[in-house]
Amino acid sequence: MEVIQVEDLWKRFKIPHERRTTILENIAGALQILEGKRFTYEEFWALKAINFTVSYGESIGVIGENGSGKSTLLKVIANILRPDRGRIKASGKIAPILELGVGFHPDLTVKENVLVYGSIMGLKNSEVKKRIGSMLEFSGLERFKDAKLKNLSSGMQMRLGFSVAIETNPDIFLIDEALAVGDMEFQQKCVDKFKEFKGEKKTIVLVSHALNLVKEFCEKTVFLSRGEMISFGKTEDVVKQYLKHVAGHN
Amino acid sequence: MLEYGELVRNLTIKEFKLRYRNSVLGFIWSLLNPLAMMIILTLVFSTLLRAGIENFPVFLLPALLAWRFFSVSTSMSLASIIGNSPLVTKIYFPRWLLVLSSNLANLIGSSLELAALFPLLIFLGMKITYIALLLPVILVFEFILIIGVSLILASLNVYYRDVNQVWDIALQIGFFLCPIIYSISLIPERYVVAYSLNPMTRIIESIRRILYYNRPPTPADFAITLVSGILLLLVGYIIFRRLEPRFAEEI
């Protein structure tokens, strides 16, 4: 059974040569066009013709150099960015754990953020209140439950995001380098959690530069380079190919 | 819609808290603004200019509050998408809920404002008749209009950051285009039809009829405010849906 289906996915970003973010700039720009100057922008295809499927209970790694489209891919699967061509089908509740945080507001306290995030993830307030204890315990942030989010360090914010996301009981985890800012102890806790999820047949898509982690957890791996999918297959083979690719560039 | 009930409630409470958290006087400030306006405008219009309107504070204040409901709601919700960029760029949920929650937070604020100033209005000599039962109807129509305008402004603001400056100017012009500080009877006969097409004019005039003249609004008042509210809501929704897919990358 396919949980995530990515079919001929293309995603483009437009990078204007002069960025116009105000109405005034746009009027000025339109006047320039009348004078014969062209409005120019660069098209940048962040993802080109990506195809792969993830089955129920599978863990997939996504590897590639910086700027290869890994994070964009996760955001498209999470429905935060929309594809320009192709289709994405994901069935089940998705918890994206992207770079820093999962969708918290810096001016709200830890407790308030948990409540808002919980309801975005479809949890009733009563359920969140029941689970908030274990969320805070896993993150080790009980002492800071009434602190504003912006007063937490980036590592603490990540711990909180991760702890809260896993307690909302999603079917699919999209994890983007989330562990990179955590300390050793927390990283180990998360690795143990991943093992638990794999046992519970959760689907995981893991973007990481930590190849060992990818090898340990992911049966299959996607290798991206400059927006193109170089390969998709058994993690061992794909990682080898990636290492060869990196060596070839040096 | 129902599945998002709790989310809307949480977002509304969040919005409300953020709005009043960082000021000691909080809610009091939002009362002081219309009170100060009322006092200064009464001084200017009934004392200096001698406009000859009987009981000017009661003539002015309800209209002023109706206008404030519109202007504060729309200018606050204008930033409801870009102000929530940490949410919009990290997780998916229908984005229009952010606009709705901002509007709802302001609805609570404005209702409290009205409730707090009502005793003052009665003290100043406002008469309450059974016609006042029509007031909530007009306010609901105004709220529909507000949501429509907010959807347009909030989504445009993601692409054009100076929408708030443009809207500030529009609101200043609007304040004088609507019969807030003057009576609609001052408008020359041949312009009245065009003048009354403005839904905010209809809303303010209806509220003034109810609370100052103790007369029900005309059927045309109801019809024009409702139809223009629904039209703007539709247009707002269409524009919002067109612009929504690229919010996360334009923010």
- Residues of A whose CB is below 8 A from B91: 78, 80, 96, 102-103, 117, 120
CA distance A247 to chain B (A): 33
Looking at A14-23, A138-147, B220-229, which range is the least confident one?
A: A14-23
The predicted structure's pLDDT at residue B52: 78
Task: Report the pLDDT value the prediction gives residue B24, as an integer from 0 to 100.
Answer: 60
Say yes or no for a CB contact (<8 Å) between A105 and B248: no
Q: Cβ–Cβ of A98/B84 closer than 8 Å?
A: no
CA separation for the pair B158, A21 (Å, rounded)? 9
Overall average pLDDT of the B138-160 stretch: 97
Residue A7 CA to residue A87 CA, distance in Å, equals 5
Residue in A55, A54, A74 with CA at minimum distance from that of residue A63: A74
A113 burial via Cβ count (<10 Å: 0-12, 13-18, 19+): buried
CB atoms inside a 10 Å sphere around CB B228: 20
Q: What mean pLDDT do residues A11-34 have? A: 78
> Pick from A23, A98, A125: which is nearest to B90 by CB?
A98
Residue with the two structure tokens 């100060």: B36
Please give the average per-residue pLDDT across B76-103, as a whole number. Answer: 95
A27: contact with B, CB 8 A cutoff: no
Question: What SS3 state is found at A35?
Answer: coil
pLDDT one-digit tens code per residue, A165-201: 989 989 999 998 767 777 888 888 888 888 899 899 9
pLDDT over threshold 90, residue B140: yes
Q: Which of B3, B7, B86 sits opposite A106 (nearest CB)?
A: B86
Mean of the per-residue pLDDT values for chain A?
Answer: 89
A23 in contact with B, Cβ within 8 Å: yes
Question: What pLDDT sits at residue A30?
Answer: 74
Q: What is the pLDDT of residues A209-232, one digit of tens each?
A: 889 889 988 999 999 999 999 999
Which 220-249 residues of chain B touch chain A by CB within 8 A?
Answer: 245-246, 248-249
| Strand-pair category, A203-207 with A59-63 | parallel
Q: A122 in contact with B at a CB cutoff of 8 Å? A: yes
Nearest to A13 among B3, B93, B249 (CB): B249
Contact status of A64 with chain B (Cβ, < 8 Å) = no
CA of A116, closest CA in chain B: separation in Å?
A: 6
Report CB contact under 8 Å: B245, A80.
Answer: no
A26 Cβ under 8 Å from any chain B Cβ: yes
Contacts of B86 in chain A (CB under 8 A): 101, 103-106
Q: What is the pLDDT averaged over residues B101-130?
A: 91
How much is the pLDDT for A243? 93
Q: What proportion of chain B, given as a percentage, has pLDDT over 70?
A: 97
Residue range A110-125: mean pLDDT, rounded: 93
pLDDT band at B104, cuts 50/70/90?
Answer: very high
Q: What is the pLDDT of residue A38?
A: 62
- CATH class name, domain A2-249: alpha beta
How confident is residue B49, by pLDDT bands cut at 50, 70 and 90?
A: confident
What is the SS3 string spanning chain B?
Answer: CHHHHHHHHHHHHHHHHHHHHCCCCCHHHHHHHHHHHHHHHHHHHHHHCCCCCCCHHHHHHHHHHHHHHHHHHHHHHCCCCHHHHHHHCCCCCCCHHHHHHHHHHHHHHHHHHHHHHHHHHHHCCCCCCHHHHHHHHHHHHHHHHHHHHHHHHHHHHHHCCCHHHHHHHHHHHHHHHCCCCCCHHHCCHHHHHHHCCCHHHHHHHHHHHHHHHCCCCCHHHHHHHHHHHHHHHHHHHHHHHHHHHHHHHHC
Please answer yes or no on whether B162 and A120 come within 8 Å at the CB atom: no
A34 pLDDT more than 70? no
Q: What's the gap in Å between the CA of A210 and the closest CA on chain B? A: 22
Higher-confidence position of A19 and B178: B178
* Structure confidence at residue B23 (pLDDT): 66
Q: Residue A250 above 70 pLDDT?
A: no
ipTM greater than cut 0.85: yes
Nearest-5° Cα angle at B95, B136 to B242: 100
Alpha-carbon torsion, ordered A27, A31, A34, A39, to 10 deg: -60
| Higher local confidence (pLDDT), A28 or B135 | B135
Least confident of A174-183, B100-109, B136-145: A174-183
Q: In terms of C-beta density within 10 A (0-12 exposed, 13-18 middle, 19 or more buried), how is residue A216 classed?
A: middle
Q: pTM of the entire structure?
A: 0.91
Q: Over chain B, what is the mean pLDDT?
A: 91
The pLDDT of residue A98? 86
Q: Residue A38: helix, strand or coil by DSSP?
A: coil
Chain B partners within 8 Å of A120 (Cβ): 7, 87, 91, 93
Residue B112: the pLDDT is 87
Which of B2, B8, B90 to mutate against chain A (most A CBs within 10 Å)?
Answer: B90
Burial of A154 (0-12, 13-18, 19+ CB in 10 A): exposed
Q: How far is Cα A55 from Cα A63, in angstroms, rounded to an integer?
A: 19
Determine the Cα–Cα distance for residues B144 and B23; give it in Å rounded to an integer: 30
Residue A1: half-sphere exposure toward Cβ, Cα within 13 Å:
9
Summarize pLDDT for B196-212 with one digit per residue, the tens. 999 999 999 999 999 99
User: pLDDT digit string (tens) for A138-151?
Assistant: 888 999 999 999 99
Q: What is the mean pLDDT of residues A44-71?
A: 94
- Per residue in B11-20, pLDDT (tens digit) is 999 998 888 7
